[in-house]
Chain A
Amino acid sequence: MQVPAAFEYRRASSVEDALALLETLGEEARVVAGGHSLLPMMKLRLARPEYLIDINDLSDLDYLRVEGGELRVGALTRHRSLLESELVGSHFPIFHDAERVIADPPVRNRGTIGGSLCQADPSEDLSAVCAALRATLVVRGRGGTRAIPMAAFYRGPYETAVGPAEMLVEIRLPLVPHSGSAYEKVERKAGDWAVAAAGAALSLHGGRIGQAGIALAALGAATVNSVRAEQALLGQEPTEQAFAAAGRAAAQDCDPVTDGRGSAEYKRHLADELTRRALRRAADRAAVAALAAGAAGEDG
């Protein structure tokens, strides 16, 4: 039987209460929401916090709303809510692509977007999704809030920019006109972590790629965005040739390791191929969005 080492449990009644507990209890306190990353790590003694602060009662952190040209997602929003939300799917189909292949329904009933991002696993699908979409993460401490771009939030395996007395409270995703997004993942079996995965988001302006976000998962400890792939796309027409150039750049940018899920060579091949596949679908979706906007008489 696997049981975590002993710890003390506190249930936070509000965000302020959680922050006060984090400050009082110090660096050996950890926030727990769904618990599907932290509790297994505690059973294996890979994590040994002295205190757990349960934030599951903070329902004011469980929301999805459009505000200020962004989709704002509360940190306690469950995977299942993201998967079932039409609002999320209509603006960011990449979320539904990814959520369909994250773990399984009972895990998705508990796991949260905030927990996924703060776990900062190099294989975390939502990290790649948020990086592709150029998310901004709102972190709150007792002194106030700060907004951190995804690229600065993720600091490497299991490390983020969140300080010991802070917590992630909101994820902000900019709404980009005429845009489309998609996620492609190869896994060994249903619900498994990725062998490799790629997310793509792009916008079309006058038939050319305006903005582009390419992010990879499970393809190296340091890789999230593939900057070279993004640069290869800017200003190009959304053609197979442009996608191939981006795929090659993503394969160059990544740094996979050989493990039980596959060889580094195979994963590098996947980085290329999955980037191309994600771009094809993202471009198709962007074209549909642009057509719909045109039909509605909006400016291109």
Chain B
Amino acid sequence: MQVTINVNGEDHSADVEARHLLVRFLRDDLGLTGTHWGCDTSNCGTCVVLMDGEPVKSCTVLAAMAAGHKVRTVEGLEGPDGLDPVQQGFVEKHGLQCGFCTPGMMMTARALLDRNPDPSEDEIREAISGQLCRCTGYLNIVRAVQWAAQHPAAPAEAPAQNAGRAA
């Protein structure tokens, strides 16, 4: 069947089987391998992408179900002015070790900050509670999200000031 999914702002079409999973569509058909694929059972959360702005586990969404929706992956985080504050936060606060859970963690963090620009530590921990870091580096992941909350990107219309990079 023919599906068209808007991924990172661009429509992508492919002829897929009904059983084709969104994570395979992103990785195999579009070559967007930033979205990782782990447990395949909707437990580990490394495959989290944003669908219509909210985190979903792409191993448990059919490509057919995502057709007509807007999907955002880690490749869509970086803007024209550089890294998303969430990405920069992971750099600043050493938010990753092996990096396997990182794309899903960052997408969840982005969705959280879009809804709640100043989350408490508990709210951050709750937001990432559907995702596993097998390096157990949760403390620095939380710090990375806190850093991003403290260094929001400048509004698009404002002049770029390279905000917070030296923090």
Contact = CB atoms under 8 A, between A and B. Distances in A.
A8 B129 CA distance: 34
B129 A39 contact: no
B108 interface: yes
A4 B19 contact: yes
B10 interface: no
Contacts of B61: 35, 110
Contacts of A54: 62, 64-65
Residue picked from B1, B19, B62, B64, most chain A C-beta under 10 Å = B19
Interface in B52-85: 54-57, 60-62, 64-65
Contacts of B131: 104, 106
A1 interface: yes
A39 B41 CA distance: 9
Residue picked from A7, A32, A106, most chain B C-beta under 10 Å = A106
Interface residues on B, range: 20 to 34
A295 interface: no
Contact of A56 (B41, B65, B126): B65
Nearest to A51: B18
A105 to B, nearest CB: 5
A105 B127 contact: yes
Contact of B129 (A40, A56, A105): A105
Nearest to B125: A190
Residue picked from B18, B37, B48, B65, most chain A C-beta under 10 Å = B65
B4 interface: no
A103 interface: yes
Interface residues on A, range: 20 to 34
A52 interface: yes
B129 to A, nearest CB: 5
Contacts of B64: 9, 11, 54
B108 to A, nearest CB: 7
A205 interface: no
A36 B129 CA distance: 17
B141 to A, nearest CB: 15
Contact of A40 (B18, B24, B42, B126): B42
A35 B18 contact: no
B94 to A, nearest CB: 24
Given A35-B60, A36-B57, A36-B60, 8 more contacts: A2-B40, A2-B41, A6-B19, A9-B18, A9-B64, A52-B62, A109-B55, A110-B56
Interface of A: 1-9, 11, 32, 35-36, 39-40, 42-43, 52, 54, 56, 103-107, 109-110, 190-191
